[in-house]
Amino acid sequence: MLRFELGDGRAMRLLDASDAEELFVLIDANRKHLARWMPFVGQTRSVADSLVFVRSARRQLAENRGLQMAVLADEQIIGVAGFHAIDWPRRSTSIGYWLAQAHQGAGTMTLAVRALIGHAFDAWELCRVEIRAGVHNSRSRAIPERLGFREEGILRGAERIEDRVIDHVIYAVTAVDWRAMSALGDRDPARA
């Protein structure tokens, strides 16, 4: 079972069907916090909806199209981070994430995304990792910026969230850049 240790009792592991209830309770308790930026929240109304998500994540993993991981603090789920898909011909992927409101501000998601990037470049040998964030989602934007991603441009009208249509800013890092930054040790302050 894939698992990444993030330090200070924090870790990531693959999501499993038995997580559906815990996941739903967490989403439900963070509905207002998450719904501002994540359209899936409005469609998550019951444990059954979270089970559909977890099962589709397991299918995604089995079909080698990416993976979704629970982010844990003391083994309790506090968020989710994963890959939306893998473009194998272009050896490219993108990462998405969310964290319960009370667990923000500790660098956990920066560590989690750093672990996912390592997996994409080292285990899958991909060439490029993207992160897209709402242009006004400053906390989300800070993650790729902290990790040394380069801002590549704006996608106008990229996402509909409830009654808003928002623009996205797109960030990317290449395997070459990531390895160069690792060698220099000049990446984010969350480095262990």
d(CA 47, CA 25): 8
> CB of residue 31 vs ligand COA: minimum separation in angstroms?
11
> CB of residue 186 vs ligand COA: minimum separation in angstroms?
15
Is the distance from CB of 112 to CB of 6 less than 8 angstroms? yes
In whole angstroms, what separates CA 172 from the centre of its chain?
A: 14
Q: Which residue is nearest to ligand COA (CB)?
A: 107
Minimum CB distance to ligand COA smaller for 89 or for 105: 105
Exactly one of 97, 121, 149, 178 binds ligand COA (CB under 6 A); that residue is: 97
Is the distance from CB of 105 to CB of 75 less than 8 angstroms? no
In order of 77, 111, 130, 137, 144, the CA distances from 39 in angstroms are 20, 24, 19, 14, 21
Among candidate residues 119, 112, 111, the one with its CA nearest the CA of residue 191: 111
Minimum CB distance to ligand COA smaller for 142 or for 154: 142
Minimum CB distance to ligand COA smaller for 98 or for 121: 98
> CB of residue 110 vs ligand COA: minimum separation in angstroms?
3
140 interacts with ligand COA by CB under 6 A: yes
> CB of residue 6 vs ligand COA: minimum separation in angstroms?
10
143 interacts with ligand COA by CB under 6 A: yes
Binding positions for ligand COA, 28-87, rule CB under 6 A: 34, 37-38
d(CA 12, CA 116): 10
Minimum CB distance to ligand COA smaller for 105 or for 185: 105
Exactly one of 107, 115, 116, 171 binds ligand COA (CB under 6 A); that residue is: 107
Is the distance from CB of 54 to CB of 20 less than 8 angstroms? yes
Q: Which residues bind ligand COA (CB under 6 A)?
A: 34, 37-38, 97-99, 104-110, 133, 137, 139-140, 142-143, 189-190
